[in-house]
Amino acid sequence: MAQEIYQLSATEISQRLAKGELTSRALVEALMKRYHALNKKVGAFTHLDEADVLAQADASDARRKAGKILGPLDGIPVGIKDNIAVKGQPLTCSSKMLAPLVSPYDAHVIESLRAAGAILYGRLNMDEFAMGSSTENSAVQKTYNPWDLARIPGGSSGGSAAALSAGLVPLALGSDTGGSIRQPASHCGIIGLKPTYGLISRYGLVAFASSLDQIGPMARTIDDCVLLLNALSSPDARDMTCFDKNHRKQLPEVAAKSLRIGVPKGVLGKGVGAEVAAATQAAIDFYKSQGCTIIEVDLPSSDLAVPTYYVVATAEASSNLARYDGVRYGHRSANAKTPIEMMTNSRSEGFGPEVKRRILLGTFVLSAGYADAYYVRALRARSKIRAEHLAALEKVDMLLTPTVPTPAFKAGEKVSDPLQLYLEDIFTIPANLAGLPALSVPCGKSGHLPVGFHLVGAPLSENKLLAAARLFEAAHGFANQLPTL
């Protein structure tokens, strides 16, 4: 069956460009046609400068003609989540607070993509300031799940996941603080990787929770994910938490027959939907059939993960978002009589309810009289969670769980219950707390809705995770599957 251009994987595109069977311009024109047809329905992109992307495509084609392409990504569009700085483009984080802001600088990953010749393709919708699990907290527009337009795509990188799933772009950047790449990837039937904390520079990623945030690649195939990951991960002296060149060596890969996969005790038990559990079990059985050893592991501090995450993340966020005050950039309230009044009004007008909730919670857990009971304790709990995971990952090569307990819910279903939404992240959060690489891979359906399984590895084991995922991908047809739209 001949594939439409928009259905091609980035790897296939790269090959066709190299062979001269496709031009970057033709590719971009095809994608823009689909954008015009579908973006209103899906709501993935909040901004796309058509003249600009065509100019980038032309520049790539010119390089190719002159024999001077910059690498395998040259001429391939990459959608950018609206919390990653691109010079001259809006940097709104889907918030009213930053609606007027045009970034005067590039993020490190954007510099890397430019150097690779990739096409920086539009701004993708997200939960405001990356706070949410459904993209319903966007102050700009709604994004819908291409597999069921009455449902949410997940969040906070909902725009990125939906754009890939709807065939609007072959590659996208997301960011992940508690699951914001992996959970929407799972809900939209695509692949999302959160790398080891420190692998990819955060310079230019609008901070939500500094010790948890990572930029990561999102794609429809494992090869595409690797292509994008390689372009993004390099040292950056502008981020002190980014590994320098001497501390980036990947752990060696392991042959399938020697792979030990750890399944945490009770992970398919209560709270997990029956079909999600079945699809995850099927993935476990697949690996067993390949000769891998499946080992039950005990992670007793798992029930501490969500509270620990929400204390640490909101504490850091309350401080990271303090700079948004209408003084130097962004939304400024009119008619205030004093600077403090102006700052307070600007913030109150600019932030949505979930952001305010998290700022208030974060302020509380750091406040005098409560910091010891909450913030300090959370840091101790985090150490315990990390230690348990590292110990388990000495006995196994990776952990396997569902990515999300239940598939994509209906739009509006959970907006009035923040706690419910927080529990979406129960499987994804520990990897952020422990700084570990984690990958969501499509593994089946729950009815018509995608289900993903989740692999977590030791620091700098991305290659191992991707190899295990590739094994699964090769045997199953879930890669590069697009719903009919």
Partner 1 sequence: MSQGLDIDHLAKLARLNLTPDEKKLYTQQLSQVLTYFEALAKADLPPTADVAMVVDESALRSDEPGKPLGAEAVTKIAPASHDGQISVPRVVDDES
Partner 2 sequence: MSNAEWEVVIGLEVHVQLHTRAKVFASAPWGFGQEPNEQVDPVVLGLPGTLPVVNREAVEKAILFGLVVGAEIPAQCAWDRKNYFYPDNPKNYQLTQKDFPVTMGGKVEIELPGASRNVQGEHKFIRLHHAHLEEDVGKLSHSGSGSLVDYNRAGVPLLEIVSEPDLRSAGEAAAFLNALVMMLTQAGVADCDMEKGQLRCDANVSIRRRGETKLGTRSETKNLNSISGVRDCIIYETARQIRELEAGRAIVQETRGWNAENGRGYVLRDKEDAHDYRYFPDPDIPTLKISRETVQRLQKQVPESPYARQQRYIEKLNVPYTAASVLIAQQDLAQWFEAAVAAHPTNAAGIANLVVNDLLRELSASSGAAEGADIAKVSLASCRIQPAHLGALVKLTDEGTISKQQAKEVFSEMFQSGQSPVQIVESKGLKQNSDTGELEKIIQEVIADPSVAKSIAEYRAGNEKAINALKGPIMKRTQGKANPVLIDQLLRKALG
Beta-sheet pairing, 191-194 with 214-219: antiparallel
Nearest of 181, 172, 179, 154 to residue 219 by alpha carbon: 172
User: Which residues neighbour 99 within 8 Å (Cβ) at sequence distance 6 or greater?
Assistant: 90, 92, 139, 330, 331
What residue 301 binds from partner 2, partner 1, none (CB within 5 to 8 A, per partner kind)? partner 1
Q: Which of 7, 230, 364, 415 binds partner 1 (CB under 8 A)?
A: 364
Q: What is the DSSP string of 69-125?
A: --STTTT-EEEEETTB--TTSB--TT-GGGTT-B-SS--HHHHHHHHTT-EEEEEE-
Angle between the N-to-C axes of helices 50-65 and 24-42, in degrees from 0 to 180, rounded to the nearest 10: 160
Task: Based on the shown chain and the rule CB under 8 A, indicate whether residue 332 belongs to the binding site for partner 1.
Answer: yes
Answer whether 109's CB lies under 8 Å from 204's CB: yes
Task: Based on the shown chain and the rule CB under 8 A, indicate whether residue 413 belongs to the binding site for partner 2.
Answer: no
The per-residue b/e assignment along 360-375, b for 16 or more CB within 10 angstroms, e otherwise, is ebbbbbbeeeeeeebb
Catalytic option among 138, 180, 233, 302? 180
Nearest of 139, 153, 146 to residue 409 by alpha carbon: 153
Tokens of 212: 């948890």
d(CA 475, CA 275): 20
Q: Which of 61, 325, 425, 473 binds partner 1 (CB under 8 A)?
A: 325
Task: Based on the shown chain and the rule CB under 8 A, indicate whether residue 90 belongs to the binding site for partner 1.
Answer: no
Task: Based on the shown chain and the rule CB under 8 A, indicate whether residue 378 belongs to the binding site for partner 1.
Answer: yes
Task: Based on the shown chain and the rule CB under 8 A, indicate whether residue 103 belongs to the binding site for partner 2.
Answer: yes
Contacts within 8 Å (CB) and 24+ apart, 252-259: 253/463, 253/464, 253/467, 254/397, 254/464, 254/467, 256/287, 256/290, 256/291, 256/292, 256/468, 256/471, 257/290, 257/291, 257/292, 259/287, 259/290, 259/291, 259/292, 259/293, 259/397, 259/398, 259/468
Answer whether 140's CB lies under 8 Å from 97's CB: no
Q: Which of 30, 293, 329, 377 binds partner 2 (CB under 8 A)?
A: 329
Task: Based on the shown chain and the rule CB under 8 A, indicate whether residue 330 belongs to the binding site for partner 1.
Answer: yes
Task: Based on the shown chain and the rule CB under 8 A, indicate whether residue 340 belongs to the binding site for partner 2.
Answer: yes
96 is catalytic: no
What residue 181 binds from partner 2, partner 1, none (CB within 5 to 8 A, per partner kind)? none
Task: Based on the shown chain and the rule CB under 8 A, indicate whether residue 267 belongs to the binding site for partner 1.
Answer: no
User: Which residues neighbour 322 within 8 Å (Cβ) at sequence distance 6 or greater?
Assistant: none
Complex with partner 1: residue 291 or 339, whichever CB lies closer: 339
d(CA 21, CA 150): 38
Task: Based on the shown chain and the rule CB under 8 A, indicate whether residue 459 belongs to the binding site for partner 1.
Answer: no
Complex with partner 1: residue 12 or 325, whichever CB lies closer: 325
Looking at 286-435, which runs of residues are DSSP E strands? 293-297, 398-402
Task: Based on the shown chain and the rule CB under 8 A, indicate whether residue 206 belongs to the binding site for partner 2.
Answer: yes
d(CA 216, CA 343): 33
Q: Of the ranges 41-49, 172-180, 289-297, 371-379, which one interacts with partner 1 (CB under 8 A)?
A: 371-379
Q: Which of helix, strand or coil describes residue 219?
A: strand
Binding mask 251-290 for partner 2 (x = CB under 8 A): ----------------------------------------
Q: Which of 35, 287, 309, 375 binds partner 2 (CB under 8 A)?
A: 375
Q: Of the ranges 115-123, 253-261, 317-325, 415-423, which one interacts with partner 2 (CB under 8 A)?
A: 317-325
81 is catalytic: yes
Complex with partner 1: residue 281 or 383, whichever CB lies closer: 383
156 is catalytic: yes
Q: Of the ranges 198-206, 302-310, 428-436, 463-471, which one interacts with partner 2 (CB under 8 A)?
A: 198-206
Q: Which of 97, 101, 185, 231 binds partner 1 (CB under 8 A)?
A: 101
Q: Which of 28, 31, 84, 267 binds partner 2 (CB under 8 A)?
A: 84
Task: Based on the shown chain and the rule CB under 8 A, indicate whether residue 83 belongs to the binding site for partner 2.
Answer: yes
Residue positions annotated with a catalytic role: 81, 156, 180
Interacting residue ranges for partner 2, rule: CB under 8 A: 83-85, 91, 93, 98, 101, 103-105, 107, 202-207, 209-211, 237-241, 315-316, 318-319, 322-325, 327-329, 339-340, 343, 363, 366-368, 371, 375
Interacting residue ranges for partner 1, rule: CB under 8 A: 100-102, 104, 198, 211, 237, 240-241, 244, 301, 303-304, 306-308, 310-311, 318, 322, 325-332, 336-345, 347-348, 351, 353, 356-357, 359-361, 363-364, 367, 369-370, 373-374, 376-384, 386-387, 418-419, 422
